[in-house]
Amino acid sequence: MNFARIVAAVSIALLGASALPASAQTLQKLRVGKAISEAFTFTPLDIGLEEGIFKKHGIDLEIIDFTGDAKLQQAFAADAADMGLGSGPGLAFIVKGSPITGVAALANAPNTMTLIVSETSGIKTIADLKGRKIAVTTVGALTGWLLSELSRQQGWGPNGIQIIPLGGIQPELAAMKTGDVDGLSSELALGLRLEDEKTAHILVRFGEIVKDFHIQVIYATNKLIAKDPDAVRHFLAGWFETIAFMNTHKETVVRIAAPIVRVSPEILGRSYDVVMPVVSKDGKFNPKALATLSESFVALGTLPTEPDMSKLVTEAYLPGK
């Protein structure tokens, strides 16, 4: 075989390999953590996995569930996760030394988040919350940030509501049932479920008090970014294809996500209509939302001074970049 034929044969072989489906190629293994397992806004991981979307983009996805932002941050520090879905307020962890970068906005205004109070708590209005005990997952979690911001807006300072970290939804529900806490800060779907059960009611929908915001962000470790930036790009391509799929396949989304969120399909269907509009379709960061977060870090005592938010996030790995 002459040189020209060798070159042609090699070219054909390479083209054939690039045309192979992801299943026939080497997949990139990524360990992706959820700050909390039951969050509906985190179920694109499960849906994209079941529908084969991440695999299509060359990602062999391992989903790891945690019990709050602090636990997810510990996993990043221990090199036990490559990427993660966490809260917008979790960007403050980067200033404190967490080895991560925000690579996409996940969800915007907190329409999905609620303050739920027990029917036996006697709490009827926001004014009744002063000094009361409300459960959250972990210190530094989105749920705690929202409570502190509500307290600040009421003129009580960031600690006017007692924030009780209990490590997960099930311990929170148990504590509310026994009266050890008066309520909890959690997602809309859980609030709707508890209202149907007549054990608690939604007192506050946080989207009514916080407007320009990123409630959740997708993070990548700096180690992964340095070692394999294409893995970040491929993951985000799979993520946003999954979001597009979810916006046009409600029935499939409800079927897959309801058991993960631990609510009935009927309740998740109602939640879907509220949640999906605030899930980012492109991952771009809103400067006003970043400014809200930056200001809040000081107002709530999280950080002594406002950070340069441009050093905490990047849009370099979004589809089309």
Average pLDDT over residues 203-222: 94
Q: Which of 78, 73, 89, 79 is nearest to 35 (CA)?
A: 73
Q: Which two tokens stand for residue 273?
A: 């209509």
8 Å CB contact between 149 and 300: yes
Q: Which helix (H) or strand (E) holds 183?
A: strand 183-187
Q: Residue 25: its pLDDT value, please?
A: 62
Backbone torsions φ then ψ of 310, nearest 5 degrees: -65, -20
Q: Residue 168: its pLDDT value, please?
A: 85
pLDDT tens digits for range 38-88: 999 999 999 999 999 999 999 999 999 999 898 999 999 999 999 999 999
Average pLDDT over residues 89-113: 95
Whether the pTM exceeds 0.75: the reply is yes
Query: What is the phi-psi region of residue 202: left when phi exceeds 0, alpha when psi lies from -120 to 50, beta otherwise?
Result: beta
**Residues β-bridged to residue 28:** 59
Residues 94, 69, 108, 123: is their CA dihedral positive or negative? negative
Average pLDDT over residues 289-313: 93
pLDDT tens digits for range 222-247: 999 999 999 999 999 999 999 999 99
pLDDT tens digits for range 17-40: 444 444 446 899 999 999 999 999
Q: Which domains does the chain have, with CATH numbers?
A: 26-109+213-311 (3.40.190.10), 113-208 (3.40.190.10)
Q: Residue 290: its pLDDT value, please?
A: 97
**Helical pair 265-275 and 188-197, crossing angle rounded to 10 deg:** 140
Q: Residue 137: its pLDDT value, please?
A: 86
pLDDT higher than threshold 50 for residue 12:
no
8 Å CB contact between 140 and 71: no
pLDDT higher than threshold 80 for residue 15:
no
Q: Which of 268, 236, 272, 276 is nearest to 108 (CA)?
A: 276
Q: Which two tokens stand for residue 91?
A: 């960007």
8 Å CB contact between 107 and 216: yes
8 Å CB contact between 203 and 116: yes
**Residues β-bridged to residue 113:** 187
Q: Residue 10: its pLDDT value, please?
A: 38
pLDDT band of 299, cuts 50, 70, 90: confident
Distances in whole angstroms, Cα of residue 236 to Cα of each of 54, 118, 248, 286: 9, 39, 19, 18
The two beta strands, 113-118 and 200-205, are antiparallel
Percent of the chain with pLDDT over 70: 92
Average pLDDT of the chain to the nearest whole number = 91
Burial class (CB in 10 A: 0-12, 13-18, 19+), 144: buried
The Cα angle at residue 291 between residues 309 and 297, in degrees rounded to 5: 75
